[in-house]
Structure 1
Amino acid sequence: MNFKSDNEAPAHPAMIEAITQANEGYAAAYSEDSWSRDLDGRFSELFETDCRVLPIATGTAVNSIAIAELSPPWGAVMCHQLAHIHTSENGAPEFYSGGAKLVPLPGENGLLEADRLARAIDAAGRHGVHNVKPSVVSITQATECGTVYSPAAISAIAAITHERGLHLHMDGARFANAVTSLGCTPAEITWKAGVDVLSFGLTKSGALGAEAIVVFNHPEWIEGMERRRKRGGHLLSKMRYVSTQLLAMLDADLWLELGRQANARAAELARGIENSSNVSMAIYFDPFVANNFDPGAGD
């Protein structure tokens, strides 16, 4: 068993099959292929609203390009102190935005707290041009601690964010795990709860380097994101090999099936730890996952 990283796991066979099928013949380059052009429609069906989708190969690029479009160089990005954008992306959001500052905030079990967020935003802009200006709130779903935000918690954060003129970004590197553990629809924890932009992650679910920026209700942001994707070296000439994986993951809800399997194995491990006298849980384990654990899932 390997607990080091889901990035060390092999790609799901369906991804290899999708790439092989897309490898037949010629196709337009630079996201003009039929697979890439199908993304807006397929994701709009999934999220029950009009979406604009940009396929990108890495999670760091997805997060950074999305945040850079939402924040000016003098902006502040409010995030949890354990957020991947803060701890594990080597300044990429700051680099892509031309200097926006990440402002890390504490919160139990990896979760931002609405009241604390409101106080931090209000305090950050007290000195006018002498301070960075809060522009974006970024939350991770599921969090770096494996916890999840409920739809109500996201709505509370979104209300604080939008009331103050900021935008809400969600890092969904493990979005499938959150959706399946909460038993909700993708829409209920994104745009219906007030999320403006989602980093839709699939590599950790079994894709071979396939992520996407999903924009809700703000088509005017797309051109800037497209230009940042190109300028930052992430507009692949053969983007069809990324886009075909995104589509294959949506087929028959494969991404959700894999999320359920991962949650089931995590619940099994957590129960083993809870029953052990030698080790203990360092972080609160979501009882929803445990209570909905099916021992046969993923066999």
Structure 2
Amino acid sequence: MNFASDNVVGASAPILEAIVRHNAGALPAYGADPLTLGLTPRFREVFEHGDLAVFPVATGTASNALALAAMVPPFGLCLCHEEAHVMEDECGAPEFYTHGAKLQGLPGTGSKIDPAALAAWLAALPRHVKQMPPRALSLSQLTESGQAYGLDEIARLSDIAHRHGLSVHMDGARFANAVAALGCSPAEMTWKAGVDILSFGASKNGALAAEVILVFRADLAETLEYRRKRAGHLLSKGRFLAAQLDAYLAGDHWLANARHANRMAARLAEGLGALPGVRLAWPVGGNEVFPILPAALDRALRQGGALYYDWTSRSLPPGEAVAEGEALVRLITAFSTGADEVDAFLDLARQASRRAAA
């Protein structure tokens, strides 16, 4: 019953099989192999964008940090939510690769940036050489609270950013889960809504280690070949990244994986929400569930072998709070999470609730 993260599970069978299948023989190195070269037309088809630039890398940290480095100069600001992964969980990699640019966190319910708050912040910013100028907006999809920005929200935020001279980056570590949840196309969620660069995640959704920087604007793509190499993220045996991504896209495997993970999260949320004293901090927007549990239930679940993380209450909805004797936690389902695992967790929770009521 491990719901700690979608990073803790292995890779999906089609992706592992693709790695083995493409292992034999000699192929050109550093991304010059046919499989890597074939990724560009594949992604252009998926995203309905004929000029899309495609840069595979091995980690989400590299994808985010290098993307932001192409958008923000050393003297600039990148705006993001105050809980964003780029802000709190990447050990300063964006600042390192931008050579000193700064991240500015903004508050918002559900770890979402509110368009009105973004507009007000930008309007109030002093225009002076002593003030670092904002150059990019980074949106997490899903957010750190498991919420999906709607297409209208992305479009509004992008429009505000562009009117103030900012480029728009999307951290799509769980992009597939958001697409599956909203039922939209990848194009609708990105460039058609104003996104300039997407960090397209695969590692959390079935890949072994594969992410892609997808650039929808040619002027932002021109330095990334050099930035990726200089940063040590151009793999010599790039075919193994390409093999993963090729299998990930084949037959919409990426969306099938995400839909399954989302269904398991919905099953988990429904079961937990029926228990006395349990409520969801935010609606389920993908494959993450954030219940507020009675402390006794939290202890019983952990003692019963369930694994998950405590979570922060900083972006709870207005009027919501974690009271004394309660715990806010995060549960994540993955492409490989089985209904039996979810049901075992829910059975454990029901037994603990009955004992507490007796």
1:253 counterpart residue number: 252
Whether the 8 Å contact between 2:80 and 2:103 is mirrored in structure 1 is yes
2:132 counterpart residue number: 132
Local SS of the residue matching 1:6: coil
1:192 counterpart residue number: 192
Match status 1:220 vs 2:234: no
What is the percent sequence identity of the aligned residues?
Answer: 47
Q: In structure 1, what is the Cα distance between the partners aligned to 2:129 and 2:223?
A: 25
1:281 counterpart residue number: 280
Q: In structure 2, what is the Cα distance between the partners aligned to 1:90 and 1:227?
A: 22
1:247 Cα shift? 1.1
Q: In structure 1, what is the Cα distance between the partners aligned to 2:39 and 2:220?
A: 17
- Unaligned runs of 5+ residues in structure 2 are 290-336, 340-358
1:143 Cα shift? 1.0
Local SS of the residue matching 1:128: coil
2:7 counterpart residue number: 7
Local SS of the residue matching 2:280: coil
Q: TM-score, normalised by structure 1?
A: 0.94
Whether the 8 Å contact between 1:67 and 1:93 is mirrored in structure 2 is yes
Q: In structure 2, what is the Cα distance between the partners aligned to 1:221 and 1:24?
A: 36
Local SS of the residue matching 1:266: helix
Letter in 2 for 1:279: V
Q: In structure 1, what is the Cα distance between the partners aligned to 2:55 and 2:39?
A: 8
1:113 counterpart residue number: 114
Residues 232-251 of structure 1 aligned to structure 2 (within 5 Å): 232-251=231-250
1:34 Cα shift? 0.9
Q: In structure 2, what is the Cα distance between the partners aligned to 1:286 and 1:214?
A: 23
Rg larger in structure: 2
Letter in 2 for 1:11: A
1:293 counterpart residue number: none
1:24 counterpart residue number: 24
Q: In structure 1, what is the Cα distance between the partners aligned to 2:151 and 2:137?
A: 16
Letter in 1 for 2:276: S
Task: State the Cα deviation string for residues 66-123 of structure 1 (Å, max 9, x = none).
Answer: 0000000011000001100001001000000011100000000011111101112223
2:342 counterpart residue number: none
1:187 Cα shift? 0.6
Q: In structure 2, what is the Cα distance between the partners aligned to 1:162 and 1:106?
A: 20
Whether the 8 Å contact between 2:140 and 2:172 is mirrored in structure 1 is yes
Letter in 1 for 2:128: G
Letter in 1 for 2:81: H
1:156 Cα shift? 0.2
Q: In structure 2, what is the Cα distance between the partners aligned to 1:87 and 1:106?
A: 14
Match status 1:98 vs 2:124: no
Letter in 2 for 1:130: K
Q: In structure 1, what is the Cα distance between the partners aligned to 2:43 and 2:185?
A: 13
Local SS of the residue matching 2:116: helix
Structure 1 range deviating more: 227-236 or 272-281: 272-281
Match status 1:48 vs 2:60: no
**Gap change, CA 1:9 and 1:114, over 3 Å in 2:** same
Task: State the Cα deviation string for residues 180-201 of structure 1 (Å, max 9, x = none).
Answer: 0001111111000000000000
Task: State the Cα deviation string for residues 24-47 of structure 1 (Å, max 9, x = none).
Answer: 101111111111101110001001
Task: State the Cα deviation string for residues 238-262 of structure 1 (Å, max 9, x = none).
Answer: 0110111111111000000000000
Root-mean-square deviation over aligned CA pairs: 1.7
Task: State the Cα deviation string for residues 134-174 of structure 1 (Å, max 9, x = none).
Answer: 00000011111111011111000011011111100000000
1:78 counterpart residue number: 79
How many matched pairs?
290
Letter in 2 for 1:194: G
- Unaligned runs of 5+ residues in structure 1 are 291-296
1:177 counterpart residue number: 177
1:157 counterpart residue number: 157
**Gap change, CA 1:22 and 1:286, over 3 Å in 2:** closer
Local SS of the residue matching 2:149: coil
